[in-house]
Amino acid sequence: MKNLNISAKISVCIYEELNQSEKKLIDAAKEATQHAYAPYSHFQVGAAVLLSNNEIITGNNQENVAYPSGLCAERTALFYANSRFPDEIVNAVAIAAYTNNDFTDEPITPCGACRQVILETQNRYKHPVRILLYGKKTIYLIEKITDLLPLSFNADYMTADLKIKD
Near ligand THU by CB under 6 A: residue from 25, 29, 48, 72: 72
Q: Are 90 and 75 in contact (CB under 8 A)?
A: no
Q: Which is nearer to ligand THU, 43 or 85 (CB)?
A: 43
Nearest to 45 by CA among 69, 68, 62: 62
74 a catalytic residue: yes
- At CA 64, angle to CA 32 and CA 78, rounded to 5? 40
Near ligand THU by CB under 6 A: residue from 110, 118, 130, 131: 110
Nearest to 27 by CA among 129, 103, 81, 87: 103
Contact letters for ligand THU, residues 136-165 (x by CB under 6 A):
------------------------------
Q: Does 45 bind ligand THU (CB under 6 A)?
A: yes
- Alpha carbons 117 and 115: distance in angstroms, whole number: 5
Q: Does 108 bind ligand THU (CB under 6 A)?
A: yes
Q: Which is nearer to ligand THU, 113 or 158 (CB)?
A: 113
24: left (phi over 0), alpha (psi -120 to 50) or beta: alpha
Catalytic pick among 22, 63, 74, 88:
74
Nearest to 82 by CA among 113, 107, 49, 111: 49
- Alpha carbons 45 and 34: distance in angstroms, whole number: 8
- Segment lying near ligand THU (by CB under 6 A), choices 4-12, 50-58, 105-113, 139-147: 105-113
| Residue 102 beta carbon to ligand THU: minimum distance, rounded to whole angstroms | 16
Residues near ligand THU, by CB under 6 A: 38, 41, 43, 45, 61, 63, 70, 72-74, 108, 110-111, 114
